[in-house]
Each structure stands twice: as structure tokens, then as C-alpha cells.
Amino acid sequence: MSAGGIAAIIAASALLIISVAIAYAVVRLGRAIDEVGTAVKEISHETTPLLHEVTTTVELVNGPLQSINKVTKSMEELSSKISTNTSSFLDKNQMAMKAAGAVLTAAQMRKKKKGKSSKKSKSARYVDDEEF
């Protein structure tokens, strides 16, 4: 056997070893891809019911939120009407409002006066009450 024949045997052996290594890597990669596929299927089977439950929960929450939104709009409209009517009343009845303010001021003064007069005798309190 010549040097060329030995070199051919070594090259063939190296090619065989490389081929076996590549085949082993391909088999391992195939198994890894199968495991990933199985994991994806399991995740898909587990998340589908979860997504359905989340969708149901969101739908159940949206119902009351829509009702709250309607109530909020109604309250906004009501407060706007009250504000408009109050402004209109105050603009038209300034004298009545001044009189009401005077009555409230007098009532507060009377209340303060009663608090101070609680130390007075019964006859003095009777006289204070008769003044108003």
C-alpha cells in the first residue's frame, strides 16, 4: 500500500466520523424540535380556556361599567341643569337672595346671642327671645 492509499483511508475515515457527527446532531435537533412542538401544543391547549375566561370576565365587567357610565352622564346632566337653574334664579331674584342672606345672618346672630345668653336668668332669656 502506498502513501496515497493510506491517505485515502484516513480521509474516508474522517469523512465517516464527520458524517456520523452530523447525523447525530440532526437527530438531536429533530428531537428538540419535536419537544418544542409538544410544548407549544400544551401551551396552546392551556391558554385557550384561559383566554376564553378572560374574555368572559371582561364582558361581565363591561356591563356594570356601562351602567355606571349612564348614571354618570345622567348625574352630569342633572348637575348642569341645577347649575343653570340656580344661576338663572340668582340672576332674576337678586333681591330675594339678599333678603334670604339677611335672614340667615340674623338667624346666625340669634344663635350666637342665645349661646351667650344661656348664662342669663330665665327672665332675661325670655326678653331676648321676644325681641325677634
Spell out the domain ranges in the chain: 1-92, 94-132
Contact present, 117 and 125 (Cβ < 8 Å): yes
Q: Angle at CA 79, nearest 5°, toward 77 and 81?
A: 70
pLDDT in tens, 72-118: 999 999 999 998 888 887 778 777 778 888 888 888 888 887 766 55
The pTM (predicted TM-score) of the whole model is 0.39
pLDDT digit string, tens, across residues 22-80:
999 999 999 999 999 999 999 988 888 888 999 999 988 888 888 898 999 999 999 99
21: exposed, middle or buried (Cβ count in 10 Å: 0-12, 13-18, 19+): exposed
Tell me, what's the pLDDT at 23? 96
Among 100, 120, 96, 118, smallest CA distance to 108 is for 100
